[in-house]
Structure 1
Amino acid sequence: MNCPFNGSWSRNDDVATPLNTQVGKIYGEYLLLDKILTAQCMLSKEDDRPVHDEHLFIIIHQAYELWFKQIIFELDSIRQMLNEEKIEETKTLEILKRLNRIVLILKPPLSGLNQLYSVLCVYFLQFFLDGEYYFPNKPTDVLKD
């Protein structure tokens, strides 16, 4: 797979230009999969007390953070369009399209909560409550307030 192209691209677009002159990257290189797929550092494993469900916890929360990053990206672009002195009709359609995209993005993460609930609380709370795990606000701190 080659690198993406500059500008809006379609199959019939003869004027699309590559972003750079380098030979195209393969899929994994372009998406930096080596970094993403090695970004799950299980603290319990490093502490020689592995908690199996911690991996699911990390994956779900990293995925949420990526979706939130995309939502912020969409909102920033919408705000930029709304800050223009005069908004053309085509821009309003683009704004609506991006707002709809945000709504669609929010649906899957909310369904992901069901997957998170599959982590047995008793076992996973052990990860938070046992020892000195690196979270300033452990669930017990929240319950005290």
Structure 2
Amino acid sequence: MNVLQSGIAKFISADVPTVNIDAPVQEAVDALKNSPYGAVYAVSADRKLAGVITSCDMIKLGTSDATRPKKVSELATTTKIVGIRDDAELWQLLKIMNGENSINKRLDRIPVVSADKKIVGVVDRRALRSALETVQVPLSGSMGL
């Protein structure tokens, strides 16, 4: 089988920083400080992906007390979240990470969700590149990193 048609399970890091969507913003700030990805994923009580907070979102915290977000749900991006299912193939992951997605942007990391939208991990571009270096994969054209 072609490596590009293999599953993405071996590239998923289960160590994904999450915070409850209803938590105080300070929990997201603390989680982001410890996140190796520059992002924290907001989840519902049943671990379904509900949003994402990046270090860029922290700029919103510099506003006055009256307009400063108090809850994660007020700070997180909750629409147009680009993710991938845990049963996807490598070629699909590469296409999405390289900009063939709903926001038309190259992504350095992508949350991985189960069929019922629960977050199971994250794929990071650097870790993926390192893993692919140990495998004979054609990394030219639109499929490369």
Which range, TM-score by smaller chain?
A: under 0.3
Larger gyration radius, structure 1 or structure 2:
1
Q: TM-score, normalised by structure 1?
A: 0.22
Q: TM-score, normalised by structure 2?
A: 0.22
Bigger helix fraction: 1
Bigger strand fraction: 2
RCO comparison, higher one (Cα < 8 Å, 6+): 2
